[in-house]
Amino acid sequence: MKTNHLKLFVLIFSAFLFTATSIAQDDKFVVVLDAGHGGKDPGNLGGGFKEKEIALNIVLQIGKELENNPNVDVVYTRDKDVFIPLDQRGRIANAAKADLFVSVHCNSHQSQAYGTETFVLGLNRNQTNFEVAKKENSVIFLEEDYDVTYNGFDPNSPESHIGMSILQEEFLDQSILLADFVQKKFTNDLKRKNRGVKQAGLIVLHQTYMPSVLIEVGFLTNKQEGPYLNSPAGQKKMAEAITTAIVDYSHSINLATLENLAGDLAVEVVPPAIDVDLYESVTFKVQLAASSKKIDPKSSNFKGLSPVFREKEDKLYKYYYGATSSYSEAQKLQQQAKSQGFPSSYVVAFKEGNKITVNEALKTPAK
């Protein structure tokens, strides 16, 4: 037992050193994109569709868009129809010293269930999550010597899932943050049913040493959702939503690592050329960070910036600097925030208390 504890300590410590080194050595923001299944593993075949093909199409579109940004490096666990063992997917991400690991899948169910859900690593809190984990983990049975590779892990045993989250605990806040962004883009932009951010003992997430999520983009077994996900238009929209969520994540990182994460995926928004810069019923704020931890928004906690507002969205606290109806004033506030040590801060917009995109805000009639 003492030997096992020592091995576990060494693994955790090695993961910490590996991650710290990767951040320090690479100037770019590295995203590893993982298309679920592939090759001899077709994934689920609900509705007569092939999960492995849909997942790959979506991942390639995400990667193509991200590759347009010179500050981003994209790495694929697979970019064609080949079988990649779960442990190798994690190794690819770790070797790339990635800042993010994003795995894309499609769901299935015996009922007409529908909607999107995004998983982070953790204990299976209910039977439904456990069933998803069993389904995604069962691919290990296609691998030779899987019982050796995964140290006797049994996807069908609840006991095997206990303790899987230890190595990912350091990155849980950031994983939840990314998952939250993904679900909000699906729900707000694409009007998909939100099945939530969930935790489950997923092997592919367990193998990685960085913030990681597994996205279930919908149910192939649903009569409406299956054809949508199998269509070029549906895949394009899902890819765009995930890409935007990754970009948003890069701006809203956990306060504990705010100054360490490399890269900046800023997307500059150019306001229309108008004489009046005040927008009716719109409030612009500068988002400094987001965290699952509740922090007093006093100026001393935010490098002298004031006023700072704290608002809770689902499981996360968002921290905003300033409030104005003027977009140009909001840009000045953003520059102040950057100069004070918040390089990834960005402008957000609210209308009548609801968050909207800045582009939507700039289309609002001026005062």
**Distance from C-alpha of 208 to C-alpha of 157, rounded to nearest angstrom:** 22
Q: Is the pTM of this model over 0.75?
A: no
Distance between terminal CA atoms of the chain?
70
Closest C-alpha to 73, from 245, 262, 268 = 262
The answer, yes or no, to whether residue 78 has pLDDT greater than 60, is yes
- For 159-203, how does the pLDDT look when each residue is reduced to its tens digit (9 = 90+)? 333 344 444 455 777 888 888 889 999 999 999 999 998 887 677
161: left (phi over 0), alpha (psi -120 to 50) or beta: alpha
> Tokens 């069993």 appear where?
134
- Average pLDDT rounded to a whole number, residues 223-245: 97
CB-based burial, 114-141: b 16+ in 10 Å, e otherwise: bbbbbbbbbbbeeeebbebbbbbbebbe
pLDDT given for residue 315 in this prediction? 67
What's the rounded mean pLDDT across residues 34-46? 92
User: Rounded CA gap, 273 and 289, in Å?
Assistant: 30
Task: State the Cα–Cα distance between residues 175 and 213, nearest whole angstrom.
Answer: 6
CA distances to 200, 332, 363 from 327, rounded to whole Å, are: 41, 9, 12
Question: What pLDDT, on the 0 to 100 scale, is given for residue 77?
Answer: 94
- Element holding 313 (H helix, E strand): strand 308-313
What domains can be seen in the chain, in order of their start residue?
2-257 (3.40.630.40), 282-362 (3.30.70.1070)
Residue 30 has pLDDT above 80, yes or no: yes
> Among 107-121, 255-269, 275-289, 336-350, which is the least confidently predicted range?
255-269
d(CA 323, CA 334): 11
Which residues are paired to 219 by β-bridges?
A: 107
Residues 290-313 as b/e (b if ≥16 CB within 10 A, e otherwise) read: bbbeeeebeeeebeebeebeeeee
To which residue do tokens 């007409």 refer? 112
Alpha helices by DSSP H, listed for the chain, are 2-25, 51-66, 86-95, 127-137, 146-149, 158-161, 172-184, 190, 203-206, 225-230, 232-251, 327-339, 358-362
Amino acid making up residue 3: T
pLDDT tens figures, 304-344: 899 999 988 766 788 899 999 988 888 889 889 888 888 76
Is residue 359 packed enough to be buried (19+ CB in 10 Å), middle (13-18) or exposed (0-12)?
exposed
CA dist list (Å): 211 to 171, 198, 250, 345? 5, 14, 12, 20
Q: What is the pLDDT of residue 123?
A: 53
* Mean pLDDT of the region 104-133: 74
The number of C-alpha atoms within 13 Å of 47 and in the hemisphere containing its C-beta is: 26
- Indicate whether 155 pLDDT > 50: no
Contact 183, 117 (CB under 8 A): yes
